[in-house]
Amino acid sequence: MKRLLLFAMMCVSISFVSAQKKFDKVSKVTSSEIRWWGYKVVKTEASSHSGTVKLKSGKFNFDKTVLVDGEFIIDMRSMMAGDVSDEDQIKLTNELKSTNFFEVKKFPIAKFHLTKIIPLANSEYNSTVYGDVTIKGVRKTISFPANVYVTQFTVVVESAKFSLNRRDFKVFYQSSLKDYFIKNEMDIQFKVSTEKLDNDNRVPVKKK
């Protein structure tokens, strides 16, 4: 019986290794910018806040010359409010990092797995990007418009401003009336690239 169990475990291990995808080329992200916006229910300039968060690491995987997917790790501890005075900036940033919102001590990173890019015609953006985002351990499939450029193994992705529902990721006051004054939608916009490109040399992603 022990030998049979050992043989079965070896078979599972071999199957798992065989199933792992080996990519011909991996291009690492070398430049990134991520911005966020949050709003109160009564949306005014004074009741809206914006800021930044940093990419910890990112890469695009290629099969031969075809872009397959992308994997990105966001450092939630780097989150910063950027539209208020110094004293308020510290207060708001600490609040966002607390257990009331993103709980960064417990969930120091967020993830985005880019799974598919569909080219668009006659649009402000040349593609629709699909992927899975994980925040506070909750994973959701999302899509958003973006300009995507691929030249050889160089990739640039410039997203439109798109919305995520913070409640989908358990980002809210646990027991406070304050939460009813905050809009559920938070906006994100980002740009990632494997290297700098001149605008004249950018090539939109092609259909597979």
Domain membership of residue 101 (yes or no) is yes
* pTM of this structure: 0.80
Q: pLDDT digit string (tens) for 187-203?
A: 999 999 997 545 455 55
pLDDT for 102 equals 95
Is position 16 within any domain? Answer: no
Residue range 37-84, pLDDT digits in tens:
998 876 555 568 899 999 999 999 999 889 999 999 999 999 998 876
Q: Is residue 152 part of a domain?
A: yes
> Does residue 10 form part of some domain?
no
Q: How many domains does the chain have?
A: 1
Confidence of residue 172 (pLDDT cuts 50, 70, 90): confident
The dihedral built from the CA positions of residue 44, 145, 129 and 82, taken in this order, carries a sign that is: negative
Of 193, 185, 196, 201, the closest CA to residue 37 belongs to 185
Structure tokens at 161: 């401003």
Q: Mean per-residue pLDDT for 135-145?
A: 97
Sign of torsion over alpha carbons 166, 170, 173, 177: positive
pLDDT in tens, 17-34: 333 456 779 999 999 999
Domain carrying residue 178: 25-194
What pLDDT score was predicted for residue 205? 55
pLDDT value of position 88: 78
Could you tell me the CATH number of the domain that includes residue 84?
2.40.128.110
Backbone φ, ψ for residue 161 (5° rounding): -75, 125
User: Which structure tokens are listed for 189?
Assistant: 């916009």
Q: Looking at residue 204, what DSSP letter applies?
A: B
Evaluate whether 72 touches 132 at the Cβ level (below 8 Å): no
Say if 104 falls within a structural domain.
Answer: yes
40 neighbors 197 (Cβ within 8 angstroms): no
